[in-house]
Amino acid sequence: MTINTLAKGGWHREQMTCFQKMEKVIVAMQDPDMGMKMRNQRLLITVIPHAMTGKDIIDWLMQNYNINEEESLHLGGFLVQYGYIYPLKEPRCLVLRPDESPYRFQTPYFWTSTRWPVSELDYAIFLAKKNIRKQGELMEYEKERYSVLHKRINHTWDFVVMQAREQLRASKQRRKADRIVTECQEQAYWLINRPPWPLNAMICCSNTIILSVRAYVLMCRFVKYSEQYQNHDPIMQGCLPSNPWISDDTAHWTMNAALVPIPTRLRVERWSFSFMELLSDAMGRQEFMMYLEKEFSAENLCFWQACEEIRHGESSKIVEKVEEIYKNFLAPGAARWVNIDSKTMDKTLEGIKHPHRFVMDDAQMHIYFLMKKDSYPRYLKSDLYKSMLSKAIVPQETKKSVFPFVRRQRHSSPSPAQAAEDSRSKGPQAGSD
Amino acid sequence: MCDQTFMAATFGPCESCGKPSPLMNIYIKNEAINYCSFCVELMACQGLQSGESVASLKRECESLKKKLEEERGKLNDVELHQVADKIEVLGALAIKTRRVLKGHGNKVLCMDWCKDKRRLVSSSQDGKVIVWDGFTLSKENGISVPCTWVMACAYAPTGCAVACGGLDNKCSKAVAMHTNYVSGCTFTNSDNQILTSSGDGSCALWDVESGQLLQSFHGHTADVLSLDLAPSETGNTFVSGGCDKKANVWDMRSGQNIQSFESHVSDINCVKYYPSGDAFASASDDATCRFYDLRADREVAVYQKDSVIFGASTVDFSLSGRLLFAGYNDYTINVWDVLKGTRSSILFGHENRVSRVRVSPDGTALCSASWDHTLRIWA
């Protein structure tokens, strides 16, 4: 092992040889003739089949490898540490006890070597499953890692949640006993193989490939974004009827003023690019409000706007604005009551007792994403939007307008160096622009 | 016996790429499929749309993988320009000066556009801050600030106020107080808060009304020269760049430094977010501009050319993010193709260093401020 291979994560290769050797031992231990005698073990009220005691393991190793008890305990300890055997009592304590404590063999599906390289994605799916099953009751360290992963691989989160649900559904179709066993196995696997903390991108060398894939996919975003907005970029594609700075005609600005009777088509199209685009356009927001009123959920947008005013408004007005919001949107029986989940509601109501600029953030975020995921997509499919799109103006290009990309050569102002040379050879000349 | 309560293929040919490898059992709409971890990762990144079939996903994975295999032979890390290979090359840009704003008596150090797309504010070494209607060239307002080197100025979102700061260590009517010069300032989404960067190595968020310090940001080990607010849904982060060659991303609420990038070899003079908010560009004395992807957490493009020798002092993106305008100390503005990494054109006109470039809010024009006492508007 040179420093070079160590640096690039080459230690994996060395580890793999060890795993292969350990697996040989494990397979031998499960040999039907010469392997260990398995029996049913009692664990509290359940009877676990195919289990063995710590003492059994040590005895077998001593016998078959001709070693003494100390060495056997040492070797057996590694088998437990690397997850090939897992304890049933105190699953988090990965030691081999030379007594009646029950143990089981880990299924090859969950062998470290089989599932190499460990991916964050895999771990995220596991935590998501556990989170759903236990309704949020994860261990502290699991909660921390779950939220770290949520940030790190946020772009895959839809997949993570979907996969967690699917796997849970598939497991429900199995017998209860099998399900419990699988859960034990999975838990044991992740105790050992969970990605290291804090997660450093380059720790697993095999992850370099996955990182490149991810980087590639992430960077496609920029290509997509630029392509989507290209027609809206005046410097690149020109604008209709003309660019005011070039033609000295302000028609473009007049047509695109904040509130106009009929907006331009490009503008209405832009509302469909993202929820943020819709909300940041005064007219878009107005249209969306009209749509929400039809759906009887306009209080959501009003609430969001009121929260924005607190976040960005004057400090002196915060307390009174929070009061207003509580009265109008949050108090029981409020005229425009917003539907927030109970946890967020409790937290917000607590925070209102000592109002500050960010006290509404959680509730505001909740409502924002509610509108984004639910009302916004439906708005884009609605008649209101579609008719706006068809009514929208496509301005005529003004005859005098000049598009930036022309075939004939256009010279920008000559460089000062060139101008200096010219003046030297030709004498003083007229201004360059 | 070890437990094997359900049949699971653990090794074999991946159902997507066909290569024999360790398999992960994945369920899509109750259908169990066996992919290798590589293909699963690809699929997760692509995102699963409801109704999407496994077959169509497979096809997409295939083409992506083929592309990646081609590129993987060349480099270890994927670069932005590789992804952009399939886009067509930009034609020659025909941008020229449309307006020249004369009126400052000394170097123009900073400028900012008003949201109405035609007014702008500029500040100069002679202590004057001027508000212009760029379209008609008329000066609407002029303020004398009792200090020289007014390095930073910003237009308030409502268009009703202007903030400026500089060598007097203050910003505006002493809203912000630093212990060293104010290098940059910007309003957050309203007229009520200002974010400043300073030669004292820190950034700070101030309440305009009371002059109170709301949050301070420490982490740079030298002067902070520039900052930019992220255009995001949650609107809570900003990026700063400084003389310690680092670009830091901060959480405005907690004051924490979320991400840090250090790849420039000299002072970072300017930082600016990509329009979508998940990347930013930086300009540096090392004559390069760089592009950083926040989600991939690394630099993904460097904009440099052998003939570009002088430091870049300022950058801004065109509306679509396809073009990057950068002003340099050799009096020029280089226009870079963000995706392909090539230089699209070069703009001559200024007769001294370009201190600031800014694209107008609707993307119709670019304004540049220069030490030659003028501002130019290009379109």
**What order of strands is seen across the sheet that includes strand B257-261?**
B224-229, B237-242, B247-251, B257-261
Chain B CB within 8 Å of residue A30 CB: yes
- At residue A288, does pLDDT exceed 90? yes
Question: Pick from B290, B303, B299, B300: which is nearest to B337 by CA?
Answer: B303
Span A89-95, mean pLDDT?
85
CA B321 to chain A, closest CA, distance in angstroms equals 6
Round the average pLDDT of chain A to a whole number and report it. 81
- Which chain A residue lies closest to B340 (C-alpha atoms)? A223
Chain A CB within 8 Å of residue B38 CB: yes
Dist. CA B1–CA A97, nearest whole Å: 20
* Neighbour tally for A247: CB within 10 Å: 18
Q: How confident is the model at residue A424 (pLDDT cuts 50, 70, 90)?
A: low
* pLDDT tens for each residue of A33-69: 888 888 777 666 677 778 888 999 999 999 988 888 8
**What's the confidence (pLDDT) of residue B265?**
92
Q: How confident is the model at residue A266 (pLDDT cuts 50, 70, 90)?
A: very high
- At residue A282, does pLDDT exceed 60? yes
Q: Are B196 and B216 in contact (CB under 8 A)?
A: no
ipTM (interface predicted TM): 0.78
Q: How confident is the model at residue A150 (pLDDT cuts 50, 70, 90)?
A: confident
Q: Chain B interface, mutation test: which of A169, A222, A281, A361, most B Cβ atoms within 10 Å? A: A222
**What's the confidence (pLDDT) of residue B4?**
46
* pLDDT tens for each residue of B345-361: 999 999 999 999 999 99
**What's the confidence (pLDDT) of residue B9?**
61
Spell out where B166-209 has E strands. 170-171, 176-177, 182-187, 193-198, 202-207
**What's the confidence (pLDDT) of residue A9?**
39
- At residue B171, does pLDDT exceed 70? no
User: In chain A, what residues touch B214 (CB-CB under 8 Å)?
Assistant: 357
Span B4-33, mean pLDDT?
72
User: In chain B, what residues touch A162 (CB-CB under 8 Å)?
Assistant: 48
Would residue B117 be called left, alpha or beta, if left means φ above 0 and alpha means ψ between -120 and 50 degrees? left
- At residue B330, does pLDDT exceed 90? yes
User: In chain A, what residues touch B319 (CB-CB under 8 Å)?
Assistant: 229, 232-235
Query: Please, which residues 270-329 of chain A have a Cβ atom closer than 8 Å to chain B?
Result: 275-276, 308, 311-316
Round the average pLDDT of chain B to a whole number and report it. 84
CA A212 to chain B, closest CA, distance in angstroms equals 6
* pLDDT tens for each residue of B193-252: 889 998 899 999 988 888 888 899 999 999 999 999 999 777 689 999 999 999 999 999
Q: How confident is the model at residue B65 (pLDDT cuts 50, 70, 90)?
A: low
* Neighbour tally for A162: CB within 10 Å: 20
Percent pLDDT > 70 in chain B is 84
More confident position, B181 or B289: B289
**What's the confidence (pLDDT) of residue B67?**
63
- Which chain B residue lies closest to A313 (C-alpha atoms)? B192
**What's the confidence (pLDDT) of residue A382?**
95
**What's the confidence (pLDDT) of residue A214?**
66
User: In chain A, what residues touch B41 (CB-CB under 8 Å)?
Assistant: 119, 121, 210, 213-214
- Kindly determine whether residue A158 and residue B48, on different chains, have CB atoms separated by under 8 Å: yes
User: In chain B, what residues touch A219 (CB-CB under 8 Å)?
Assistant: 78, 80, 83, 293, 296, 300
More confident position, B264 or B172: B264
- At residue A7, does pLDDT exceed 70? no
Is B82 strand, coil or helix? helix
- Kindly determine whether residue B11 and residue A114, on different chains, have CB atoms separated by under 8 Å: yes
Span B313-322, mean pLDDT?
96
**What's the confidence (pLDDT) of residue A427?**
42
- At residue A197, does pLDDT exceed 90? no
When CB atoms are compared, the residue of A121, A181, A275 closest to B40 is: A121
- At residue B1, does pLDDT exceed 50? no
Chain A CB within 8 Å of residue B54 CB: no
Which of A89-103, A192-206, A239-253 is modeled with the greatest confidence? A239-253
- Kindly determine whether residue B10 and residue A108, on different chains, have CB atoms separated by under 8 Å: yes
**What's the confidence (pLDDT) of residue B168?**
66
Least confident range of A193-207, A286-300, B66-80: A193-207
- At residue A193, does pLDDT exceed 90? no
User: In chain B, what residues touch A186 (CB-CB under 8 Å)?
Assistant: none
When CB atoms are compared, the residue of B67, B97, B189 closest to A413 is: B97
pTM of the predicted protein model: 0.66
The torsion angles phi and psi of A237, rounded to 5 degrees, stand at -115, 5
Span A102-131, mean pLDDT?
84
Dist. CA A83–CA A58, nearest whole Å: 16
Q: Chain B interface, mutation test: which of A245, A250, A367, A421, most B Cβ atoms within 10 Å? A: A245
**What's the confidence (pLDDT) of residue B215?**
92
- What's the Cα-to-Cα distance from B299 to each of A198, A208, A321, B57, B303, rounded to whole Å? 21, 16, 42, 29, 11
Span B363-373, mean pLDDT?
96
**What order of strands is seen across the sheet that includes strand B333-337?**
B312-317, B323-328, B333-337, B343-347
Question: Pick from B292, B278, B275: which is nearest to B363 by CA?
Answer: B275
Span A333-349, mean pLDDT?
90
**What's the confidence (pLDDT) of residue B7?**
54
- At residue A112, does pLDDT exceed 70? yes
CA A175 to chain B, closest CA, distance in angstroms equals 9
User: In chain A, what residues touch B77 (CB-CB under 8 Å)?
Assistant: 212, 215
User: In chain A, what residues touch B322 (CB-CB under 8 Å)?
Assistant: 226, 229-230, 233, 236
Element at B324 (helix H, strand E): strand B323-328
Percent pLDDT > 90 in chain A is 35
- At residue A385, does pLDDT exceed 60? yes
